[in-house]
Structure 1
Amino acid sequence: MRAAIIDGKAIGAQMRAEVAEAAAELATKGWQPKLISISVGDTAAAELYVRNQQKQANSAGVEFEARNYPEDTSLEQLTGILQGLNGDPRVNGIIIQRPLPDHIPVKVLQKLVHPLKDVEGMHPASIGNIVYNDLALGPCTAVAAVEILKTLPLQLEGLNVTVIGHSEIVGKPIAFLLMGLGCTVTVCHHMTRSVAMHSRAADAVFVAVGKPGLVTGEMLKPGAALIDIGINRIETPEGGKTVGDADFASCAEVAGWITPVPGGVGPVTVATLMKNAVLATRMQMDHYRDAYARTDV
């Protein structure tokens, strides 16, 4: 058996086309979707992500502005900046780029972003809504990974799924999203006694750990779907290359479908960010309309 390679670029392109249509419609109503990217200090580690977000936003009809603040910007100053953006109706989404300087806790900034402008889906309210099966602005990577599974010819109700990795912004949200779709979900982590026992019983496996080669072909049920969310940089005799958390060669011989790295979950994640930008804009438009609508006419 040779796995079908899932084309994340094609899925992302289709999503961006739909986003562009929705963004154009909102613009005609005076609500042009606009994202603000916030980075602090040395931006070298985030520059690639920012450039990619800028490019994808342009193709999706979403305005994008990157703002970089000095390394010594205080938490108090950033708090004021975010409060200003929260109250600015011309700004519809806020992205906090990582890494941040040591004196700036990323979770504090994520909590400061208003839930209606939380296009990354990192605010506790955004993640908490998933528990109630009320997905609005969900964590982009988690939502993207589940969207990829939904493109496959699999019956989701009752599907046995193993999620390897239980981070707050990827593994756990994926598990709740899948349960909301009717899947039977097992979550594995560093204290799981036998990850392979669980993964071999699964119809679909998600892996998001940050350890190259963690999942091998012998850990998969023949014909299973493998969604590899890992992004790791490794050195090879030919130079460095980016790989996922799965050993692609062995897994592709067993799986029915597999996401490549790069070109799998990544493009769909950025497209999901743009989709969230449009959704956030629509939510804000409705909020302002309801809050300020005249009731005396």
Structure 2
Amino acid sequence: MMNKRLKEKAGFGALAVLTFLAVVPVLAIIGYLVWQGWPALTWEFLTQPPRKFLTEGGIYPAIIGTLALTVGTIMVAMPLGIGTAIYLVEYAGENVFTKLIRIAIINLAGVPSVVYGLFGMGMFVLTLGLGRSLAVGALTLGILTLPIIISTAEEALLAVPDSYRYASLALGATKWQTVRRVVLPVALPAILTGTILGIGRAAGETAPIMFTAAVVYTPRLPDSIYDQVMALPYHLYAISTEVPNVSQHMAFGAALVLLAIVGAMNLVAVVIRTRMRLKRLR
């Protein structure tokens, strides 16, 4: 008995050490970003456009451009991703066609983001002649995010017990009514979590928007979805590698703001998921 308890404590201790080793690098990165970037976080930095070849001023246009691209990505990816997952789980059944679709989704999830950027440029900018714009960037990021959303939504739908479906159908509900009123409300918290994680990844991508939407500098905010925009990932890349004499604090400040935007999105997902689960339990 004592031997088993010692083994159990040793196992818990090993897991605790592994958890600590996984958390420490993340905290170290965040701490270093805060230490280096906090001096740059002034009101002017957050509300003014860049000046003097990006060496002075703020990042306000890049913040707005990042938020606009994120909203556009959500509008493109969420309906398509969730709709595809519903079709695969609830309607398609198990056959060769759906197996090929799932294999394709898995493979697309591992494709480097620069390939999506080249695809967006080749398809939307050159072939369709849409030009580099906010809309094209959102479409490209939406396609990049689709495999993640489809996979997480599919797993969330599969986790709903079949007894829920059978009970709804037995009461006379149609297939679509069962999916909309029974299955989706149960799976929605997990779907939203996966969706926000995918969108958070898209918000930090540089290569796709470099080819399709982002510019190093523009003096104004976008007036329509057909305008080019500044974006924090590309702005951070530019001032870190292409623009000389830029304060190190400005680069780390931009990185800290980008991290805060992604963290805020994840926090919103956690709050929504928690509230929906509590509401379902009442």
Question: If the TM-score is normalised by the length of the shorter chain, which range does it land in?
Answer: under 0.3
**When you count helix as a share of all residues, which structure comes out higher?**
2
Larger Rg: 2
Higher strand share: 1
